[in-house]
């Protein structure tokens, strides 16, 4: 992520801490979110695609698409002090239009924050 405000989640422990906290299911992806456990004033973003998504080529394409929508949406709609993980879904992440995925991510972040 190019923005100084957004940092990339890479550690397994970060992904485990987020799992099943606040979840939003979209047709093309799953969004998980939670408040950061540290005091950094940053937004954390992580991406994952299991082998259910497809072979390595499909998984990489799905992750590239998730990174693209996150780059557009997270800096505007994400809250400082929160972590977000985008999980690719089988076939849908690769085949869904980016414009629909962007709208789904906006709606997902809004719904996750309305619960808190």
User: Is the per-residue pLDDT at 115 higher than 60?
Assistant: yes
What CATH number is given to the structural domain containing 33? 3.30.230.10
Q: Residue 116: what pLDDT? A: 66
Contact in structure between 61 and 94 (CB atoms under 8 Å)? yes
Question: pTM here?
Answer: 0.91
Decide if 42 is inside a domain. Answer: yes
The string of pLDDT tens digits covering residues 5-21 is 889 999 898 899 888 78
Domain count, the chain: 1
Inter-CA distances, 26 with 10, 39, 41, 77, 78, Å: 23, 30, 28, 17, 17
Decide if 1 is inside a domain. Answer: no
| Domain, as residue range, for 19 | 6-114
The string of pLDDT tens digits covering residues 28-85 is 999 999 988 777 789 999 999 999 998 999 999 999 999 999 999 999 999 999 999 9
């Amino acid at each position: 992520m190019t923005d100084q405000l957004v940092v990339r989640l890479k550690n397994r422990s970060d992904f485990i801490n987020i799992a099943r906290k606040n979840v939003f299911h979209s047709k093309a992806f799953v969004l998980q979110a939670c408040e950061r456990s540290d005091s950094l004033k940053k937004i954390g973003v992580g991406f994952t695609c299991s082998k259910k998504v497809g072979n390595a080529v499909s998984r990489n394409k799905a992750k590239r698409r998730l990174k693209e929508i996150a780059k557009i949406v997270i800096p505007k709609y994400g809250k400082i002090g929160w972590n977000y993980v985008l999980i690719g879904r089988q076939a849908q992440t690769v085949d869904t239009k980016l414009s629909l995925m962007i709208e789904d991510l906006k709606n997902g972040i809004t719904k996750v924050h309305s619960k808190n």
